Amino acid sequence: MKVVIAGLGSIGRRHLRNLRACGVEEFVLLRSHRATLPDDELAGLPVETSIEAALAHEPDAIVISNPTALHLDVAIPAAKAGVAILMEKPVSDSMTGMDEFLQIVEENDVPVLVGFQFRWHPGLRGIKNLVEMGEVGRATSVRVRWGEYLPDWHPWEDYRKGYAARKDLGGGVVLTLTHPLDYLRMMFGEVTAEWAFADKVSDLEMDVEDTAEIGLRFENGMIGNVHLDYVQRPAQHSLEVVCTKGSIFWDNADGMVRVFDGEKKTWTEYPMKEGFERNELFMAQTAHFVAMVRDGMPSGCTLQDGIRAQELALGALWSAEHEAILKDWSILRSR
């Protein structure tokens, strides 16, 4: 199995290490040489600076981990070549070119996995099972809070130069922290309406929104809220599900799921296994992708899933701009 890694920032290098841990030995690096990390772990690997030259190596797969706004510049040629794709979220920063990309993927039967690694979180999967089994009754609402101070993400580089803070590279807190818009669909089903407030309200130096409040109505009648920000210290990523017979709580800090039975007035805790750490989510995702390429396993997060998450992210920005509730995401095709 030969893999092209497109983009060698921190996430691209994580994918490289994890693929090596899964037994992949042949790599081609597609890079701009703008990464701020040392290149020691990349020594000896062939390097190309154009997607055409990288595809000439006849890879089996490609990891797309370059800045969001440049994803489709790599993904569309790779899909035309029939190369399996592991694409970092979000799929892009706009809907331009999305229909073309989807059509090429479907016509060429290209395996695509979108990199929403929280789909592999044991706690979130456990919550999905608890809700489906009705352990605490019927879910009526859900709230996600995710705040992290952006300058702390990569202390070795100027946050103002990273993609997350730059509109031209597809940044902004809504697109960058779009994970909840995917895993909430995984757990609770389709979204039928959306509203949002989003703006740059802190003193951070950037040309994108740093805070967003997003409201969701689900097809099953549930109401949801997602708060995102680049400001909060200490960082927090948590989820709360209110149900007819109790509540479910999850905190990414320890991964534990806590369930309150409102009728028995008791708590039940489901802790993570001893020694669990964040990279296990990426490793599970990587192992799944390798199985897709080698064994034909169906995608655990399809391109259609990725496109829908992007529609919800862009829909939030549209709602904030127009101060309106969005129910028809087809209007985003012009954005």
Q: Give me the helices (H) in the chain, please.
A: 10-21, 51-55, 71-80, 98-108, 122-133, 173-176, 179-188, 279-295, 303-322
SS3 58: coil
Q: Which amino acid does the sequence have at 140? A: T
Please give the Cα distance from 131 to 241 (Å, whole number): 9
Both tokens of 58, joined, read 């006849």
Please give the Cα distance from 253 to 230 (Å, whole number): 17
Predicted structure pTM score: 0.95
Bond before 155 cis per omega within 30 degrees: no
Angle at 78 between CA 75 and CA 82, to 5 degrees: 130
Nearest to 286 by CA among 24, 78, 58: 24
List beta partners, residue 197.
213
SS3 201: coil
Please give the Cα distance from 54 to 69 (Å, whole number): 19
DSSP 110-151: --EEEE-GGGG-HHHHHHHHHHHHTBTB-EEEEEEEEE--GG
pLDDT per residue rounded down to tens, the chain (335 residues): 999 999 999 999 999 999 999 999 999 999 987 777 778 889 899 999 999 999 999 999 999 999 999 999 999 999 999 999 999 999 999 999 999 999 999 999 999 999 999 999 999 999 999 999 998 999 999 999 999 999 999 998 899 999 999 999 999 999 999 999 999 999 999 999 999 999 999 999 999 999 999 999 999 999 999 999 999 999 999 999 999 999 999 999 999 999 999 999 999 999 999 999 999 999 999 999 999 999 999 999 999 999 999 999 999 999 999 999 999 999 998 65
